[in-house]
Amino acid sequence: MHIVPLRIALAQINVTVGDLDGNAEKIWTAMREAHQAGAHIVCTPELALTGYPPEDLLLKPGFVSANLRRLQWLIERSQELPGLTAVIGYVDRDEDIYNAAAVIGDGRLYGIYHKHYLPNYGVFDEYRYFQAGRAAPLFLINGVHVGITICEDIWYPTGPLTLQAHAGAEVIININGSPYHAGKRHFREQMLATRAADNGLIVAYLNLVGGQDELVFDGGSMVFNEQGRLIARAKQFEEDLLVVDLDVASVFRSRLHDPRRRQERLELRPEEVPVIVVSSEITPPPTLDGCPLLGTGQRIEPALERLAEIYAALVLGTRDYVRKTGFSKAIVGLSGGIDSSLTAVIAADALGPENVLGVSMPSAYSSEGSKTDARQLAENLGIQLITVPIEEIFRTSLRVMAPALGEGDHGLAAENLQARIRGNILMTISNKLGPIVLTTGNKSEMATGYSTLYGDMAGGFAVLKDVPKTLVYELSRYRNSLGERPVIPQAVLEKAPSAELRPGQKDTDSLPPYELLDPILQAYAEEDRSFEEMVAMGFDPALVERVMQLVDRSEYKRRQAPPGVKITPRAFGRDRRLPITNRYRDRPGA
């Protein structure tokens, strides 16, 4: 009879792909803190030891061996933490490799779980690397039957969790590397609550936190009781150690009241779910009095609302890309427009204003407002601003190239030359002073090709690459609402978007208004809707055709763009893989 709670610690840590020593140290620190908090079990995220996703590092046998050596180190050190069982995400190996979780403690490796369901869609490529697991063992820990699963496993209603539940699991630990996109938290919560209630067990869901190239892992680890009720939630977008006392007695009681699983249990083949005994003896957890973790222990952290969540994802994704690739500072071309303003604000929030350098590069076509607004923004943010006028370089470049370009108006070539001069200036400052260049193009521009190759596309990281222009405005207003006074000048929010590459130029000269454009882009580039469907949705057929053409034509440009933070279900990165050389056109009668 279980009357003693099981204390579990969910170590929501920010590890770095390939930093095997750093990750092992971080896991070890989490193990020590969990032990100090009196936890019976501490869990770490999916592939915590290697970082997630390790991609083609997994094709290097030396990398796999090095990860196994770090696991061995953790097993040996676990002797120093008696009574604590740790679940460690790592890469296992026999004649193949597996996305695995080791269950370790008291200097021993008790058992291993291999991920069953390998995601191979969207941004995931796990069939490229891993063999799927088959066994679904249960671990008896402190007298409680605990099943381990890894990320995708729990998204299937009939996955290994069902086997473990039928075999008597009272608690399921699901360790994750689940990337963020707006709206996903709600979907996860519904799915996890359903799994917990349908199987009559406690689900402890631990997610990774941190940025990795284009992905952001949002943390927000959660625990659901056997009724499907949320009983604990960790912070989003931050490291956290969530310590939760699980009322396992309540699982047993509810099974007597709701005996559906009895029938299904009869169909179970016991060899499918071996039970590995870690500790059958029940040791009550200590009271948390006097424990430094008391203030940060069991709790339901409030969930962030939509814009706060997206903004936090952009900040974390930018910070981790910049820092984990070895930079400490960033540089942004400030045009006085909304895109470069929001990019600079995100950079300042991510890295600290002292680490962001703004550069104003006025030309003959720059309005007075573009200069004063850039200055005002820099002042509001507390970032350094330098001015490098481009007029002279522009004129000299055209003069020097005259033999090649000929006489007259050079049109678009001259417009793009200005963007390229600016790109060159930023990259030269980056070479000399070391900051990474943040590009400012938004998703609407990326989709339509409204940006200059080797011009405003030149840089290391594209902060707004997955943020449609209409959302750029929403996020700017949201960020302005946070402080005592707005950081982005009102004039920036109100002026008509313009590339200022020729006199009086407006974005709407080349593109439909963003309020019309963005929903069509979502339907076409994110949802792959057909021409007919979009017309049936009420969009103007001529406009739909034009937008489709712009998107189709600019695939080559996107392929050369820097990476940026994914915040939608379908970003222009690993999520969307279209051929560049491609004659298919989805048009009426195609």
Ligand X SMILES: NC(=O)CC[C@H](N)C(=O)O
Ligand Y SMILES: Nc1ncnc2c1ncn2[C@@H]1O[C@H](COP(=O)(O)OP(=O)(O)OP(=O)(O)O)[C@@H](O)[C@H]1O
DSSP H or E run through 97: strand 97-105
CB contact at 8 A, 450 and 418? no
Of 169, 172, 175, the residue nearest 206 (C-alpha): 175
Measure Cα distances from 224 to 153, 204, 532, 560 in Å.
Answer: 17, 7, 43, 43
- Is 495 known as a binding-site position? no
Stretch that binds ligand X, among 174-182, 366-374, 395-403, 567-575 (CB under 6 A): 174-182
Q: What does residue 26 show for φ and ψ, rounded to 5 degrees?
A: -65, -40
Q: How far is the CB of 160 from ligand DND (least distance, A)?
A: 46
Q: How far is the CB of 101 from ligand X (least distance, A)?
A: 12
Q: Which of 6, 356, 467, 499 binds ligand Y (CB under 6 A)?
A: 499
Judge whether 46 counts as a catalytic residue: yes
* Site track 326-355 with ligand Y (rule: CB under 6 A), x = hit: -------xxx-xxxx---------------
Place of tokens 């995708």: 152
| Residue 177 binds ligand X (CB under 6 A) | yes
- Is 339 known as a binding-site position? yes
- Is 334 known as a binding-site position? yes
Q: How far is the CB of 475 from ligand DND (least distance, A)?
A: 17
- Is 509 known as a binding-site position? no
SS3 of the chain: helix, strand, coil, percent, to 5: 40, 20, 40
d(CA 214, CA 210): 11
Binding site for ligand DND (CB under 6 A): 412, 415-416, 419, 445, 449-453, 455-456, 499, 501, 507, 510, 556, 580
Q: Which of 153, 214, 349, 456 binds ligand Y (CB under 6 A)?
A: 456
CB contact at 8 A, 385 and 356? no
Of 198, 192, 146, the residue nearest 167 (C-alpha): 146
Chain centroid, CA 8 distance in Å: 25
Question: With respect to ligand DND, which residue has the nearer C-beta, 453 or 535?
Answer: 453
Question: With respect to ligand X, which residue has the nearer C-beta, 152 or 415?
Answer: 152
Measure Cα distances from 64 to 19, 47, 58, 124 in Å.
Answer: 13, 12, 7, 19
Structure token pair of residue 33: 């803190």
Q: Which of 293, 361, 471, 475 binds ligand Y (CB under 6 A)?
A: 361
Q: Which does 366 bind (CB under 5 to 8 A by kind): ligand Y, ligand X, ligand DND, none?
A: ligand Y
Judge whether 506 counts as a catalytic residue: no
Q: How far is the CB of 568 from ligand DND (least distance, A)?
A: 20
- Catalytic site residue from 26, 115, 371, 566: 115
- Is 337 known as a binding-site position? yes
Q: Which of 144, 146, 151, 192 binds ligand X (CB under 6 A)?
A: 151
3-class secondary structure per residue, 472-541: HHHHHHHHHCCCCCCCCCHHHHHCCCCCCCCCCCCHHHCCCCHHHHHHHHHHHHHCCCCHHHHHHCCCCH
3-class secondary structure per residue, 52-69: CCCHHHHHCHHHHHHHHH
Q: Which residues contact 227 (CB under 8 A, 6 or more apart)?
A: 196, 197, 254
| Residue 213 binds ligand X (CB under 6 A) | no
- Catalytic site residue from 26, 33, 43, 151: 151
Q: Which of 33, 46, 339, 575 binds ligand X (CB under 6 A)?
A: 46
Stretch that binds ligand X, among 131-139, 172-180, 365-373, 514-522 (CB under 6 A): 172-180
Q: Before 285, cis peptide (omega within 30)?
A: no
Q: Which does 338 bind (CB under 5 to 8 A by kind): ligand DND, ligand Y, ligand X, none?
A: ligand Y
Judge whether 151 counts as a catalytic residue: yes
Structure token pair of residue 170: 């009272």
| Residue 119 binds ligand X (CB under 6 A) | yes
Q: How far is the CB of 523 from ligand Y (least distance, A)?
A: 23
Measure Cα distances from 209 to 206, 229, 299, 347, 506 in Å.
Answer: 10, 23, 18, 19, 40
| Residue 500 binds ligand Y (CB under 6 A) | yes
Question: With respect to ligand DND, which residue has the nearer C-beta, 152 or 445?
Answer: 445
User: Which residues belong to the annotated binding site for L-glutamine?
Assistant: 121, 178, 184
Q: Which residues are catalytic?
A: 46, 115, 151
Judged by the rule CB under 6 A, the positions of this chain that interact with ligand X are 46, 119, 151-152, 155, 177-179
